[in-house]
């Protein structure tokens, strides 16, 4: 019965990720991934794309490994930091856009006041 649930993780969209994605997304090193595999905490399948080999891992197992290694709030803190960074970036872009619009508004008002005279 457990093999069926494991098989579904392999075929479910978003249920797996490459070791490279796990490194980027969760901050793991390749050595930590290999240690997790050797400890039996991570299942993997060897795969390749255009001749480049990589390990395919089950996302839920990687998340469990990260929770165990770094604590329960690690993933939430990482997500919140990313969201904060994106919010700051958006605010900076909006401030720049607002400054440009204020400048254009002043130019248009100056042109309108020149035409009235």
Chosen domain end from 33, 54, 71: 71
Same domain, 19 and 62: yes
Q: Is 52 found in the same domain as 8?
A: yes
Same domain, 5 and 56: yes
- Which pTM was predicted? 0.65
b (16+ CB within 10 A) / e for 3-36: eeeeeeeeeeeeebbebeebeebbebeeebbeeb
Q: Are residues 2 and 42 in the same domain?
A: yes
The edge-to-edge listing of strands for the beta sheet with 44-49 is 16-18, 52-58, 44-49
Same domain, 14 and 45: yes
Q: How many domains does the chain have?
A: 2
> What domain range includes position 108?
73-117
Condensed to tens digits (0 to 9), the pLDDT of residues 19-29 reads: 999 999 888 99
- 84 and 108 part of one domain: yes
Pairwise CA distance, residues 30 & 22, whole Å: 9
- Largest Cα span, the chain: 86
* pLDDT per residue as tens digits for the range 65-115: 998 988 888 888 888 999 999 999 999 999 999 999 999 999 999 999 876
Residues 6+ apart with CB under 8 A from 84: none
């Amino acid at each position: 019965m457990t093999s069926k649930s494991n098989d579904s993780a392999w075929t479910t969209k978003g249920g797996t990720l490459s070791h490279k994605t796990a490194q980027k997304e969760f901050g793991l090193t390749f050595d930590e991934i290999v240690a997790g595999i050797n400890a039996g905490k991570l299942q993997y399948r060897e795969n390749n794309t255009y001749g480049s080999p990589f390990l395919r891992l089950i996302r839920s197992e990687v998340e469990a490994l990260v929770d165990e290694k770094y604590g329960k709030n690690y993933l939430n803190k990482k997500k919140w930091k990313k969201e904060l960074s994106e919010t700051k970036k958006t605010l900076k872009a909006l401030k720049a856009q607002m400054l440009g619009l204020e400048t254009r508004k002043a130019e248009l008002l100056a042109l309108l006041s020149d035409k009235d005279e």
